[in-house]
Amino acid sequence: MLRIAICDDEVYFLDVLECQLVEYLNATQQIYEIDRFTSVERLFETALTGKSFAILFMDIEMPGINGIETVKK
């Protein structure tokens, strides 16, 4: 299973990217799971439970810690 995370503070962009991913993944008959996060804190909370992702789509400009610093952690 392909686990994908999308992190963006703007729900509109989460919706757009998820729709595009779902369309592509369904067309290529992938088995997948997409988790959406509107804050870095929620992403970190999920990661601390041991859940990992093969792909992370990360907004760069976010309140608090930015996307680049998040990926470094």
Q: What are the pLDDT digits (tens) for 38-67?
A: 988 899 899 889 999 999 999 887 777 766
pLDDT, position 65: 73
| Percent of the chain with pLDDT strictly greater than 90 | 66
Structure-token match 């608090």, residue found: 64
Res. 16 pLDDT band, cuts 50 70 90: very high
- Report whether pLDDT(20) > 80: yes
Q: What is the mean pLDDT of the chain?
A: 90
Highest mean pLDDT among 8-12, 18-22, 62-66: 18-22
* Tokens 């804050």 -> residue: 39
